[in-house]
Structure 1
């Protein structure tokens, strides 16, 4: 089910994609959602065609990490997790989890932290947000 979006709002939605051809091949660009003429696959990527060119959706975590993480300030904390530090409320150095809720419950959203990133997490967030030390 689509969200309640007006036609005017729909015309303004931009999505990040990777340029496939031309001098900017491999670079991230923004295209308007309404400019997409067709969507197909070329193996492991979704391929989007517009009147202006061909693009790939960012489909892998590595692509997101390379192109979006620097722009959005995302930090890698595990081989499968990037987080937005400003959204983190607490972390637990004992169980190596990062939380995003003010009140931590068994249903709270979390991301796991690899041991090798624990120093990075502590430097980013400070010991006062560590549930294991409170």
Structure 2
């Protein structure tokens, strides 16, 4: 099954955006989640955890400060991968002026549904382009 960016909705938040290409609710038979995350310059994900799933982050481009399991923060850059065990607290902050592009997976899938409860969550239908505005 081929999935293009125009085939899937976009989730936007004050910190950036996500396109989930594969999810258990979006792709029949899928048991994991796979998507692209963009973290805007100077933004990030506050400390959080996924009690029911492990997460893998792959850095496509950019640089960020990553924390896993309340350990010492470290720098992640293009080509790096980070494994976050099930239930581990973690955060990602893009402290640079360039966008951070990540590929993210959850195993098992489904953890992406929790993001819909975020107060800054907005859903943009497949085929539409979100518009960013200055505050």
TM-score interval for Structure 1 and Structure 2 normalised by the shorter chain:
under 0.3
Greater share of strand residues, 1 or 2?
A: 2
Question: Radius of gyration: which is bigger?
Answer: 1
TM value normalised by structure 2: 0.22
Which protein has greater RCO, CA pairs closer than 8 Å, 6+ apart? 2
TM value normalised by structure 1: 0.22
Greater share of helix residues, 1 or 2?
A: 1
